[in-house]
Structure 1
């Protein structure tokens, strides 16, 4: 060996002296092959580990060989570090690659005896389960130091049982698997250990199960995950587990990186740093180059806080490695160039010092030694004349880190409003009446505030002037304040929302604007504060259908079918959060009416489709699958069940408060049985699917309902069966249905179910609607039905005398236009079948003009009137107001509609003018 390099190596490390004394022949052989000068790729390290262990079946020999290999590699890495033949990034990557390779081989070795005893771990869905090993901390970031512990979490995908005679649950199997893996790496033998294994970062920490399912991990993070765990999961990396592991890690990303700019991370950072400083003082470890002031942890904290704040929107900040993310911070302008250089330089030097400390005795420590001999070894290794010059250089680097931390973290406090608190209070009082002033007084001195923890009260006091400042800038300050106070009260115990609103002035201003326009939105946020997460991250673009489908599918994918409450919660919050997004886009971005209705209808359809799938799966899990009318098994991919949307959902014209008019149709052989262990008739199966669907959608929970559902338009109404076969539906419509039921069918379309059944229904609908009918009979029946609605739902004569117009039900309103479109289909589609193609009023009227049944001018006038009235109905719904408006303001629009009604339906009707 090179004598000078050997001398430096042994001077740097007493541990290296021990390794040399134990393994000199093999180390000399390694050196002879020039390995001490070479860097190892990931693949080379993997090959190295597998070659050493190849064919070894004896556990003791296996453990010995891996430990000897670890000692050889450690000697090599200390040699390279002491002689400056490597750099921090390369060294830490090679150490991490060796840890990865060791974990993989230990996992493989531990599996064989477990399978021999218990059989393979097979989930209830029939998939063989793998042990997912997640690397956390420095291992996850591939930044291991010379004597790092490795932080691990064990997980598996699905529950189930093993296939052997001594059958155990998959979780127990994975616990035994993980325990053996730990033993193979962590157990100290005469040859030492491979890696110390730390499992304390798993959910609930020490004392909890050693392995956790994907579903349980997701539930833990969403319901119990703490702020420090977000920091920990930044560095998480899948070491074993393949695509299933990648899916699991993908599930954790929204927990770590919030979609909105998450300013609460600053406060969490300050709290964590204060806790560490107290620990440093208590343990008197100021000389710890990791935890002490200006140490490694402080650099990591600076980087991580920015990752948590901006990582949801700036994906480049989601990198696990500290230095990579630090450079990205400079590239996106969150840190200036000099700050990045100072922090990078300090970090690399601190990591070199860390390696010098740990190389001494292969100990996991970052404390500067007090013994003169060890201090001299470090100064020699790092190339300093003496300890004092080393300390001076080290402290210079640490001071730069502390400077950055103080200015970027501790002083990144909550900005105060431009006006003083007393001035804002005075300005607010000037715009409030006595009633509002009393409500504000009661709010501050009521029981709710008195019961709050001191920290929550402090956050509220910090938030209040920001709220007042934003409210005073609105055109309706009193209205905004009174509508927002219940919302503020609802989040007092979740004051993270207050911090986010303080730090994001744009979000607070949008919230105030929404409050002035829509009490409905304020009430939704007040009743369901969890929706604030969505509100604060909104870009106010209308959601796209595919994004809606992907989002809901991902949310439901990892919830077990028997966890019905969780399924219902996801469905409810999905609907509410996305409708809120549409409302915000409507109010703030002034999105077009037709696109708003399309989006609201998409939300409903996606919800219906997902709920039908769940209802079908839940029923099939218990009873097996039915067969269809052609004798084929109706699996989940071939749903012989369809949900028909009528009314507004059928006409793609949903509003904010709309319920869903639905009819259920199946295409099964009602006499055959399902193929499960508890078979039932296919007719009973269809009924149970519909009942489960209704339960999932309409059960009142703490999160409300998904939708109110009306099924009275089914054949024979409330007296009829909840589900009808396609054949029975056809017979009823052709032989027994009233004309008003055909009128309702104009606005019907299949919104969920298998493609072939949807096509069958559409064909049947067109067949029914295009039957030849006498125009006089159609006109008479439509007129009767319209008059009934006016009598029951329209404005009274007294209201009409007072100048009130019911936008929907009175003459010249929305229903008149809908009825004229339906009349056009029923009266004219016999000779113009294209009129029966669409279910929405606008396209029906357009097609009537194309067919020459209506003049282009008349169709355009009706469409414009219809869109104007519907737009106003949306505005009124958001404002929590009734559909009764000033008749005078709608005179011209009504006159157009009434004249066309007179010409098409009722020649005896009077115009608005009388």
Structure 2
């Protein structure tokens, strides 16, 4: 039977093609034939089957020598299988590399599990500072991480653990030392060469600081290293990083590393590093004369991987599909995203698969980690026989054709993308700004260049500024208002002088710089935000100027808070501030550059506020619970985290889903706790005290002033009894106040109220109560009198003075015919008519209230439409003025027709005695 298998064509082919396979056959004797007879060499294996092979092989082995011998013999059998399949073309590159990678995973996990019990017996369990047992996180890098291992690849690993602490055994050591010993044992079990060979060569040089540094690092230390010291080539390496073992801690570690690798914006700063890396590759090829190396030589595997990974680094942050670790999968996405042409994709894919097959054939010869073509004639014959070529010349002709195409794309495709980021500034370097600026502005520029801030810049930062200036000049001169744009941008440039990476971003990203100049021309508010908070530039560069969806906003904030503990209050406030400011900036950019509709702008601004409020409430609740325990509700039930027993009601603009850029939040807090019952914590407080502390903690998170500003301004004066009342009241107390003591203007305010955060049942109960209050039968004349009285007070205190009116000034919001008149008419409609038309009390926003009033026949459709159009026009202008940092006092002549429509309807609905002077034609002064 042995003779029969030895004479088979498959066996003869493998024996000729691979000296290593011959050695394995002789060493394993009849075992490989038994496997062959079971078709084990012919059928593909999935991941679970490979893991099962390893598990079955090592089952019940307790001594180290036997363990090492068994795993090495299994490796030899698998290697024979893979060489057999590859030589006889019974597999493909993708399947083979995946099986190799699965086997590596199974070996690492088995070695980790085998090594642990002896360490625990000696030192005890490794316990973190949080009291939890720490696991060893093993990260696969390179081809192993991408599941693209070669036949004779080493494996690149990084060891980490969750957090520091100590073991709990008799001989106590710290967690880091325990994990270092653990990692050393894994390396010894797999890497050590014995009489049976080795399993995998293990390379640990990709860990932070490389050789000479600690073999295992904590999560915090690794995070600090990547943030503070991570280099560009490490971003390149971490593209392929994959956690093999480590559970949830490992997954969180990878989430932490992702922003280091994939910047959230289109990362044009990567071009500079890629230029250097590309140049280094070319110089290395020339210096080492490695033309026979199918991986490192010109047109080799490394250049294909480099092409793909450059695109991943640059675009992967904004195109999540490009974050795939596998070269061929990422290449497919590059083609789908039109970053690679169809031709380039097919030629690079073809070359990659061909070169990987050649690489396997080379390594199959003698199980050596090499990618160099053999010089020995006998080995060359074996190689071309494995690859099915008749002669060395035929093989080399095909190889050279493939490498030539790769070299073409490496030199041209990458260079084209690099050049795309460069602006031709030959002319702008010589452009004199003086014709575009008045004397005062030109003097300001001179002062900037001679300022201490510029003169004291480090040489690298000064060089970057000097390189950036012509790009800025060119973009500014091309704008509609060069002086305005430049004067508004100068404070921003000054604020980022020492953070010159931002200057590089703007210099290398032409589109972002042009958008920034355009926004500066329109909105000084945006420029001021960016100058005060330069970190927002990161967000600005990542914007696609589509308004964000609510679910994306929620997920983004959740991710940003994922690793922050409850006691890290400053970090929580920083995240909330950045979330609010960056997303409001995104909305403003969409408003300016994409001209998004007003209603959508207000919707998203309101979404941002609601999500921030909800998150801050949940965090506040948890913080108070942590200190005082859980309160009881009015039925005696414990108010767990999923039923807070607390709700926040939004009034005014947030209640009416009509937020603007500078809007504050009018909020009221209600609870449903048993006020006298104590919480169940060690530091117990009453239910009322608990509710007060939640509200106070919430206000602290939202309104504390820091160098980065505050999250939102919050006004709580609309609560029962105003500033004299309790900060929080029960729903029952709120109901009693509204029905027994509230003024009509408080019911008027309730028209624009709605629950925006908190316990679902409590929010629903509030909505029911709101409708009950609003749909009470009221005397229309009394409502009219009270509404008119309140409106007149507002005009007297907030509107334009008589002198301003004489000079043709109109306050867009407060004067007659302005926004507030329309809001008051909508509120009047609800209070006066919802008693007989309850549907009028359903919505809290003015536009839908006016629509419902028309549907109910309370207001003629033509009037409802006219009011709606006037309202939207005036609000749109108020948004524009807010972005321009301008007052709401505008030229009355420009708004005569709109005001006339509003005032006539005001006269008809609210005040028949309104004077007609509002409708006079504009004076000559108005028209100036």
Bin the TM-score by the shorter chain.
Answer: 0.7 to 0.9
- Cα distance between partner residues in 2 of 1:288 and 1:161: 48
Q: Is contact 1:582-1:599 (8 Å) kept?
A: yes
Structure 1 residues 702 and 6 mapped into 2: Cα distance closer, same or farther (>3 Å)? farther
Question: Which of 322, 325, 330 is the matching residue for 2:330?
Answer: 325
**Deviation at 1:554?**
2.9
Structure 1 residues 682 and 203 mapped into 2: Cα distance closer, same or farther (>3 Å)? farther
**Deviation at 1:703?**
3.3
- Cα distance between partner residues in 1 of 2:424 and 2:191: 60
How many residues align structurally? 913
Residue 137 in 1 paired to residue 142 in 2? yes
Residue 235 in 1 paired to residue 245 in 2? no
Write out aligned runs for 1:431-470 (5 A): 431-470=436-475
Structure 1 residues 185 and 583 mapped into 2: Cα distance closer, same or farther (>3 Å)? same
Match of 1:579 in 2: 584
Match of 2:614 in 1: 609
Structure 1 residues 173 and 899 mapped into 2: Cα distance closer, same or farther (>3 Å)? farther
Segment of structure 1 superposing worse, 83-92 or 165-174 = 165-174
- Cα distance between partner residues in 2 of 1:35 and 1:416: 53
- Cα distance between partner residues in 1 of 2:307 and 2:380: 30
**Deviation at 1:653?**
1.3
Segment of structure 1 superposing worse, 662-671 or 430-439 = 430-439
Match of 2:567 in 1: 562
Write out aligned runs for 1:568-717 (5 A): 568-717=573-722
Write out aligned runs for 1:694-773 (5 A): 694-773=699-778
- Cα distance between partner residues in 1 of 2:346 and 2:741: 82
- Cα deviation digits, residues 492-527 of structure 1 (max 9, x gap): 455555555555544443333222211112222233
- Cα deviation digits, residues 303-322 of structure 1 (max 9, x gap): 21123334455555444222
Question: Which of 3, 6, 9 is the matching residue for 1:2?
Answer: 6
- Cα distance between partner residues in 1 of 2:286 and 2:97: 30
Residue 888 in 1 paired to residue 888 in 2? no
Residue 295 in 1 paired to residue 282 in 2? no
**Deviation at 1:437?**
2.7
**Deviation at 1:660?**
0.6
Segment of structure 1 superposing worse, 722-731 or 750-759 = 722-731
Q: Is contact 1:647-1:748 (8 Å) kept?
A: yes
Match of 1:148 in 2: 153
**Deviation at 1:667?**
0.9
Structure 1 residues 393 and 859 mapped into 2: Cα distance closer, same or farther (>3 Å)? closer
- Cα deviation digits, residues 90-141 of structure 1 (max 9, x gap): 4333322211221233344345556778888899999988655432210122
Match of 2:517 in 1: 512
Match of 1:865 in 2: 870
Segment of structure 1 superposing worse, 215-224 or 648-657 = 215-224
Segment of structure 1 superposing worse, 158-167 or 500-509 = 158-167
What are the ranges of 5 or more consecutive residues in structure 1 without an aligned counterpart? Answer: none
Write out aligned runs for 1:329-478 (5 A): 329-330=334-335, 332-336=337-341, 339-340=344-345, 342-352=347-357, 354-355=359-360, 358-359=363-364, 362-366=367-371, 398-410=403-415, 412-414=417-419, 421-422=426-427, 425-426=430-431, 428-478=433-483
| SS of 2:516 mapped into structure 1 | helix
Structure 1 residues 848 and 10 mapped into 2: Cα distance closer, same or farther (>3 Å)? closer
**Deviation at 1:239?**
3.4
**Deviation at 1:471?**
3.0
Q: CA RMSD in A?
A: 4.1
Match of 2:216 in 1: 210
Q: Is contact 1:673-1:681 (8 Å) kept?
A: yes
Structure 1 residues 161 and 796 mapped into 2: Cα distance closer, same or farther (>3 Å)? farther
| SS of 2:140 mapped into structure 1 | strand
Match of 1:486 in 2: 491
Match of 1:545 in 2: 550
- Cα distance between partner residues in 1 of 2:878 and 2:187: 65
Match of 1:66 in 2: 71
**Deviation at 1:884?**
0.9
Write out aligned runs for 1:174-253 (5 A): 178=183, 180-202=185-207, 207-208=213-214, 210=216, 212-213=218-219, 225-240=230-245, 249=254, 253=258
Match of 2:925 in 1: none
Structure 1 residues 692 and 590 mapped into 2: Cα distance closer, same or farther (>3 Å)? same
- Cα deviation digits, residues 657-676 of structure 1 (max 9, x gap): 00111111111112222223
Q: Is contact 1:416-1:466 (8 Å) kept?
A: no
Segment of structure 1 superposing worse, 163-172 or 793-802 = 163-172
Structure 1 residues 157 and 648 mapped into 2: Cα distance closer, same or farther (>3 Å)? farther
Structure 1 length-normalised TM: 0.88
Segment of structure 1 superposing worse, 674-683 or 129-138 = 129-138
- Cα deviation digits, residues 208-231 of structure 1 (max 9, x gap): 572544x87677656765433332
**Deviation at 1:11?**
6.9
Match of 2:828 in 1: 823
Structure 1 residues 547 and 84 mapped into 2: Cα distance closer, same or farther (>3 Å)? closer
Match of 1:536 in 2: 541
What are the ranges of 5 or more consecutive residues in structure 2 without an aligned counterpart? Answer: 921-928
Structure 1 residues 300 and 252 mapped into 2: Cα distance closer, same or farther (>3 Å)? same
- Cα distance between partner residues in 1 of 2:143 and 2:482: 51
**Deviation at 1:440?**
3.2
- Cα deviation digits, residues 621-657 of structure 1 (max 9, x gap): 2322111111111111101011111111112111100
Q: Is contact 1:96-1:144 (8 Å) kept?
A: yes
- Cα deviation digits, residues 450-502 of structure 1 (max 9, x gap): 44455545544554444333333332222222223333444445555555555
Structure 2 length-normalised TM: 0.87
- Cα deviation digits, residues 797-843 of structure 1 (max 9, x gap): 32222221111222322223323333343444445444433322233
- Cα distance between partner residues in 2 of 1:718 and 1:143: 67
- Cα distance between partner residues in 2 of 1:344 and 1:817: 64
Structure 1 residues 289 and 678 mapped into 2: Cα distance closer, same or farther (>3 Å)? farther
Match of 1:838 in 2: 843
- Cα distance between partner residues in 1 of 2:783 and 2:110: 79
**Deviation at 1:195?**
1.8
- Cα distance between partner residues in 2 of 1:835 and 1:264: 55
Structure 1 residues 248 and 637 mapped into 2: Cα distance closer, same or farther (>3 Å)? same
Q: Is contact 1:269-1:301 (8 Å) kept?
A: no
- Cα distance between partner residues in 2 of 1:628 and 1:82: 73
Question: Which of 308, 328, 340 is the matching residue for 2:313?
Answer: 308
Structure 1 residues 533 and 904 mapped into 2: Cα distance closer, same or farther (>3 Å)? same
Q: Is contact 2:315-2:322 (8 Å) kept?
A: yes
Segment of structure 1 superposing worse, 614-623 or 829-838 = 829-838
Q: Is contact 1:417-1:466 (8 Å) kept?
A: no
Q: Is contact 1:266-1:409 (8 Å) kept?
A: no
- Cα deviation digits, residues 271-321 of structure 1 (max 9, x gap): 223445666788887765534443332221012112333445555544422
Q: Is contact 1:414-1:502 (8 Å) kept?
A: no
Q: Is contact 1:417-1:465 (8 Å) kept?
A: no
- Cα distance between partner residues in 2 of 1:336 and 1:825: 60
Match of 2:804 in 1: 799
- Cα deviation digits, residues 70-102 of structure 1 (max 9, x gap): 133334444555666655444333322211221
Q: Is contact 1:178-1:211 (8 Å) kept?
A: no
